[in-house]
Amino acid sequence: MAELVLDARNGTGESPVWHAAEQALYWVDIPGRAIHRWSQAEGHRHWATEEMPACLAATATPGRWLAGMESGLFELSLGQESRARATRRAAVAHAAPAMRFNDGRCDRQGRFWAGTMSLDMAAGIRAGAWYRFGAGDSALPAQLDDFIVPNGLAFSPDGRTMYVSDSHPSVQAIWAFDYDTDSGTPSNRRLFVDMNPLPGRPDGAAIDVDGGYWICGNDAGLVHRFTPDGRLDKSLPVPVKKPAMCAFGGPRLDTLYVTSIRPGGDLSDQPLAGGVFALRPGTQGLPEPAFAG
């Protein structure tokens, strides 16, 4: 059963990251232009950002994060002020006007991967791409393209398999790649799961210690687990229609935190939409790698 962690009322709560050293959960509200932090000991606080933040990775420096935003990747300093201080690390050359970053995280070696999408999701523009940013990089070349809404990024426990999805209603697929951990290069793209016959669009994801791939079923109020061979193993419900992304956390990494979206319109059937929830999935996750740069 899902437990409410915080009635955050986020427009689009995304990119939950468990910070083990702080025993705290961080995440973003994309349209709210905010970075959020919650811990059992200290409660909730947030920082405003100039651009819409979409994905986060911790860095080796306490209080500093790497974020994919609208115009590029930024290093954010989260201090006592109410606003994050931002320094742009790399600009992005979007393939079309009015785009932003979306899903993203670090590979097991600490390289940051993030995908881009059009702000007009309904238009179905295939301008989305995946970018990789590592230590010493300044440019941000596209590594994979032809996506509408890139999502579902995750890496297997050994780092040698990379997963991505496309959440757009016209696609609804998850792919797996062989991943060269030395060069950070994906290859051998193949369909991992066709989500069209299953409930929910494939949104944000996480990996457990056994290589199980957990992905939010957006519009269906479910979080699915797929085995490494692509078989649907279980589906756990949350009390909102649009779970957005999940992340393992807690002292034993055995809690699955789930952020969600608060759409417009009548929410009488899902008053907690936009909240953050905790599931007890019966397994453990892996520490989230920090950005090595």
Active site residue ranges: 203
Q: 182: which 2 tokens? A: 């030395």
Query: Are the CB atoms for 118 and 98 separated by under 8 Å?
Result: yes
- Cβ neighbours of residue 187 under 8 Å, at least 6 residues apart? 177, 178, 179, 180
Q: Distance between CA 184 and CA 170 in Å, rounded?
A: 29
For residues 245, 251, 255 and 256, what is the CA-based torsion angle, rounded to 10 degrees?
10
Q: Distance between CA 211 and CA 155 in Å, rounded?
A: 9
DSSP string computed for 184-214: TEEEEEEEEEE-TTSSSEEEEEEEBTT--EE
